[in-house]
Every structure is written in C-alpha cells, then in structure tokens.
Amino acid sequence: MEKNIVKIENLSHRYGGPWAIRNINLVVNRVGVVGLLGANGAGKSTTMNILCGALRQTEGNVFIDGIDMAKHPVEAKKRIGFLPQVAPLHLDLTVDEYLIYCAQLRDIHPKKVQGALADVKERCGIGHFSKRLIGNLSGGYRQRVGIAQAIIHQPKLVVMDEPTNGLDPNQILEVRALIKDIAQERAVIVSTHILSEVQVLCREIKMVDAGKIVFSDTIEAFNNYIAPHSVLMRLDAPPPEEKLLAMPGVSRVEFLTGQRVRVYFNAEQYNANILTDHLIQASVRENWQLREFGPDKLALDEIFAHLSNYKK
C-alpha cells in the first residue's frame, strides 16, 4: 500500500500550561496544496513546527513518507522543505552563494550541487539575479529565493507559513503561481489566515481553532458550507424579530437585510422539517409574503467565523 506523504496521529502539545493543540489528526496522501487555515493563535505554528521537526510534541506521532519523525528525525527532515513566515535569508550573500550554502546544508552530493542550483533558479525565476546580493532584491524576489531554498533538495513535502505576507498585489500573484507550479510535483502545506489564499491555492482545507481541527474537507465543501441548524428566508413583509423568536424551536434570529432573515433552531427539540412547516404555515397565515426559503450557504468570512466558534 502506498505511503502517506504526511500522517499526523493524535498530536497534542503544551508549553507548560493549557494545551496549545489537542488531538490533531491529519493525512496528506497526494500532491497539491493543502491549506492549514486558522486565526492567529489557533495552533497553526505549533502544528507546523512539530511537523517540520523543530519542536518535539508532548503526545502523538508524526510520519513523513512513512518515517517516524520522533524516531528517525534526520531521515524524515530530508523529505521536507520549509519556508517560515520570515524566510531564513542571508542578506549579505549573493543568490548563488546562499543557495549553494543551502544545498550543502541539505547534504546534496557536491557533484550535483550545480545541477540542483540551475534547476531551482529556473523554476523560481531568479536566474538573472544569480550574482546579486539578496539584500538588494525586492520583497517578491526575496520570497522566491526563500522558496528556492525550500525545494532545492527536491523534497516530497514543502511547508510554507504565510508565504505571501507583506507582498504587494503583483508579487502575491507571482508567488501564488509559483506555489501552484511546485505543487504539481509534490505535496505543499500552506499555513494562512487569509481566506483568499486558500480559495485560490488549495484543493483541501484543514482548519484549526483553539488547538483542534474543526474542518477537514475539500475547498468545494468549504465554499458550500451550510450553517447547521438554520434556514434562510426572504420575505416581502417580514414580521418583527420578536415574533419569530416566539415561535416553537426558534433559538436565534439574524436579519441579514430588511427582507432576508436567517433563523436558527434548537436541533435537540425540533428538526428542520418541523421548523420548515411552522415557518411556512405562519407565513401563509400572516401574509409575510415568502419569496425564498432554503438552506443557508454562508459567505467565506461567515464560514470562518462560524467554524471558529463552533464545536468548541
């Protein structure tokens, strides 16, 4: 059976106090971009640092290409490329000097260093800056050099932390295109709190909140996420909020506009079919002029907010 590129089992960690992450389970079994989504402080950085072998977990297991990170850290790390939020660049070196240094750190055979250097410069579009000091490059090209050092040894997994942070709009587009290109041949995990980033880049999303996985599915499932235990109504003559709240089973009411209202119900007492019957009957009886009724598809920012407060 084919090995998973990444397998994380019941991963938990604490820094002497409460759990920073708790029982994280994650599998990546093919190439493409997986988004590790979450607000600041959600547990993304802790998870990434453990995944890359920079931090030893309190509990749980991490396997890279079938290799146990705790038991065989050197072999596991050979298969990983890492781009932290602040790229580990030496600004007083030229692009060539720095990437040769990184190739040596990655234990690439001396006879293969020049070939690896040429390949990675072409892939990242930085060949024309070979002799330029990194400190004299723009932010976008520095980030390209950072990505180059992460893939020079051709790892099976590349982990990137906020890869477009601090870049201008044109640079963001260029770096995203480069990430997509890299992900055609290897698994890439991108950690971010930017919704547009995952929307454009990712085939799957793993969302972390309060140290736990609260969503794990495809980008399509994320885009079509339905608010649990709620329905959406559009009424030409809506009743006052108090009248809806007084109906059996209704737990909360949210007017999105003057005519669009999201109605939440208590799932432990009433199911969606019963609430639907009550609302439609009331609309006909009291002439609310119902124009739309159905499940409630959330906007991206609403999905993020909902998942951040749900299942805690």
Quote the radius of gyration of the chain (alpha carbons, Å).
24
Give the chain's mean pLDDT: 90
Residue 269 — very low, low, confident or very high, per pLDDT cuts 50/70/90? low
Is the pLDDT at 265 greater than 80, yes or no? yes
Stretch among 49-58, 76-85, 125-134, 262-271 having the lowest mean pLDDT: 262-271
- pLDDT for 67: 95
**Positive or negative torsion for Cα 68, 70, 75, 78:** positive
How far apart, in Å, are the Cα atoms of 94 and each of 121, 163, 175? Answer: 13, 22, 21
Distance of alpha carbon 196 from alpha carbon 198, whole angstroms: 6
Check if the beta carbon of residue 15 is closer than 8 Å to that of residue 4.
no
Q: What is the pLDDT of residues 23-34, one digit of tens each?
A: 999 999 889 999
Class of domain 6-223: alpha beta
272 vs 72 pLDDT, higher one = 72
Task: Give the model's pLDDT for residue 312.
Answer: 42
Q: Say whether pLDDT at 2 is over 70.
A: no
Residue-range domain boundaries for the chain = 6-223, 230-296
Task: Give the length of the chain.
Answer: 312
3-state secondary structure the chain: CCCCCEEEEEEEEECCCCEEEEEEEEEECCCEEEEEECCCCCCHHHHHHHHCCCCCCCEEEEEECCEECCCCHHHHHCCEEEECCCCCCCCCCEHHHHHHHHHHHCCCCHHHHHHHHHHHHHHHCCHHHCCCEHHHCCHHHHHHHHHHHHHCCCCCEEEEECCCCCCCHHHHHHHHHHHHHHCCCCEEEEEECCHHHHHHHCCEEEEEECCEEEEEEEHHHHHCCECCCEEEEEECCCCCHHHHHCCCCEEEEEECCCCEEEEEECCCCCCHHHHHHHHHHHHHHHCCCEEEEECCECCHHHHHHHHHHCCC
Considering the domain delimited by 230-296, tell me its CATH architecture: 2-Layer Sandwich (3.30)
pLDDT at residue 231 in the model: 84
Structure tokens at 223: 């885009």
Q: For 158, phi and psi rounded to 5 degrees?
A: -120, 130
pLDDT in tens, 185-213: 999 999 988 888 888 999 999 999 999 99
